[in-house]
Amino acid sequence: MPDYAVVIEDLWYSYPASKEPVLKGINLKIREGEFLAIMGRTGAGKTTLCLTLNGIIPHVMLGKKKGKVRIYDRDTDEYTVPEMVDLVGMVFQDPEAQIIGMTVESDVAFGPENLGLSEEEIHRRIERSLEIVRLKGFEERFPFTLSGGQKQRLAIASTLALEPKVLVLDEPTSELDPVGKEEVFKVIDEMKEKLNLTIIMVSHDSERVASFADRVVVLDNGEIVMEGPPEDVFIRREELLTHGVRPPEVVELEARLREKGISVEPTLDVNEMVSRLAMLLEKRGVPSLPQRAAQVSGSGSAEESEEELVIKVEGLWHIYPGGVEALKGIDLEIRRGEFVALIGQNGSGKTTLVKHFNGLLKPTKGVVYVKGIDTRTATVAELARHVGYVFQNPDHQLFAETVREEIMFGLVNLGVPEGEREERMKMALKAVGLEGFEDSYVFSLGKGQRQKLATASVMA
């Protein structure tokens, strides 16, 4: 057996439509059984690096590649994606890109069936994988009736069912609620230990990476700029911020205290930080804070807002085909200028609710008014003049070849005068930090950048 599960040597890569390389001289070795976290700002090259590990680059995405990637001594230049499937399993950033079954069970079964496993073994893998990701009982559900987070968990289950030696996860918890994130991280960590699985995970979740990863690699502009154990990397707060990585909150707390002249020894362990702060307060003779009754306000203001009512929801129910009750008697009012956050666990109905605001879904019972318009009788096109909608998955609303064409499409269809279009496009791109990307190929952008583009298209 080789000493390393993954060896990357002087790796360079450029997408076909890109003038600049996305990866620049990457050198990296990953030991068998290691949990490596890859972090970095949007567009740093994290997803591109992952795509080189199972042969998608160079066999599917051609581009221009230089350097070597070896997985258990297999050169990915010489082995195709199907020939790497027994070694490398991959969970994409967009779960819908790899869900193909008509039911949850059939999707998880697809991989093991194609490996020619026995029916008994396939059933065992389905059961275990669904239990791991909290989808037991969902076996007969149509995957595209699941919430975004549930789809992500299904994609993870389908990959785990292949039992690969190297598991590559591109932000697999990005659409999960906090409980789901913690469970997935714990499950992946347990599988690593039990199966000696090598884990390579792209993540922005510095708290959980600090707790679970053995090593952290930070990419910026296609290069490795930081590398080491979490306890060494995450205490370098200023350097992390320079490279677009948010340090763990416990590191931020220590930095804020230091700015106030209070010295606390750095640690990544929250419980340890609490203990150190308690000892510090005790030494300084700081008394316990008095208990105060919570101040409860029903509306958050003493009097009703006089601002225009822009959205009104009355007794809204939505029942999907198959009888799934996604919304049950929702009443809601939203006024001009309000910033309203909808929060809740995956599958609680958040996306279903907002899809009623622009007519993508119609009420099963009840009514939704947008600026006085009954959405039951209005078209999506009519409501688009009042409601801009940015999807959870930006790829559901991006279709043009370049960034410029993407933004101009909506402006042209809304009848915006030609003289205003360029100005509005530039304003929107500046607002989301995509200035200078006008002529970039849309799907050469990272997912975070595509999310910004989708937002800019609506803002314009």
| Cis, bond preceding 58 (omega within 30 deg of 0) | yes
For the chain, state the CA radius of gyration: 25
pLDDT of residue 429 exceeding 60, the answer is yes
pLDDT of residue 300: 47
pLDDT of residue 287: 56
Mean of the per-residue pLDDT values of the chain: 89
How far is Cα 331 from Cα 198, in angstroms, rounded to an integer? Answer: 48
- Burial pattern 392-423, b for ≥16 Cβ within 10 A else e, equals ebbbebbeeebbbebbbebbeeeebeeeebee
Residue type, 172: P
Contacts of 316 by beta carbon, 8 Å cutoff, 6+ apart: 327, 329, 330, 331, 332, 353, 356, 363, 365, 366, 367, 368
pLDDT of residue 305: 55
pLDDT of residue 134: 82
What is the arithmetic mean of pLDDT over 202-213? 93
The pLDDT tens digits of the residues spanning 386-396 come to 999 998 788 88
SS3 content of the chain, % helix, strand, coil (to 5): 35, 20, 40
The pLDDT tens digits of the residues spanning 143-180 come to 988 877 788 889 989 998 998 999 999 988 877 778 77
DSSP readout, 116-127? T--HHHHHHHHH
Percentage of the residues of the chain whose pLDDT score is greater than 90 = 63
pLDDT of residue 290 exceeding 60, the answer is no
Tokens 């008509």 identify what position?
102
Supply the pTM of this predicted model: 0.74
pLDDT of residue 372: 95
Q: How far apart are the first and last CA of the chain?
A: 56
Contacts of 53 by beta carbon, 8 Å cutoff, 6+ apart: 6, 69, 71, 76, 88, 90, 166, 168, 200
How far is Cα 350 from Cα 376, in angstroms, rounded to an integer? Answer: 19
pLDDT of residue 226 exceeding 50, the answer is yes
How far is Cα 340 from Cα 357, in angstroms, rounded to an integer? Answer: 13
| CATH dotted code for 305-389 | 3.40.50.300
Candidates 146, 136, 128; CA nearest to 187 is 128
> CB neighbours (10 Å) of residue 189?
17
What is the arithmetic mean of pLDDT over 89-104? 90
DSSP readout, 125-189? HHHHHHHHTT-TT-TTS-GGGS-HHHHHHHHHHHHHTT--SEEEEESTTTTS-HHHHHHHHHHHH
pLDDT of residue 301 exceeding 90, the answer is no
- The DSSP H or E segment spanning 326 is strand 325-335
What is the arithmetic mean of pLDDT over 205-222? 95
- All CATH 3.40.50.300 domain ranges in the chain, comma separated: 4-87+164-242, 305-389
pLDDT of residue 17: 75
Inter-residue contact 447 to 394 (CB < 8 Å): yes
Among 173-182, 334-343, 415-424, name the one with the lowest average pLDDT.
173-182
What is the arithmetic mean of pLDDT over 106-114? 96
- The DSSP H or E segment spanning 65 is strand 64-71
Looking at the chain, how many residues does it have? 460
pLDDT of residue 294 exceeding 60, the answer is no
pLDDT class for 276, splitting at 50, 70, 90? confident
What is the arithmetic mean of pLDDT over 100-110? 97
The pLDDT tens digits of the residues spanning 27-76 come to 999 999 999 999 999 889 999 999 999 999 999 998 999 999 999 999 99
Inter-residue contact 100 to 150 (CB < 8 Å): no
How far is Cα 23 from Cα 230, in angstroms, rounded to an integer? Answer: 23
Tokens 């064409």 identify what position?
405
| CATH dotted code for 4-87+164-242 | 3.40.50.300
pLDDT of residue 455: 94
* CA 104 centroid distance within chain: 21
Task: Choose between 403 and 299: higher pLDDT.
Answer: 403
pLDDT class for 286, splitting at 50, 70, 90? low
pLDDT of residue 279: 82
pLDDT of residue 293 exceeding 80, the answer is no
Contacts of 405 by beta carbon, 8 Å cutoff, 6+ apart: none
Inter-residue contact 92 to 98 (CB < 8 Å): yes
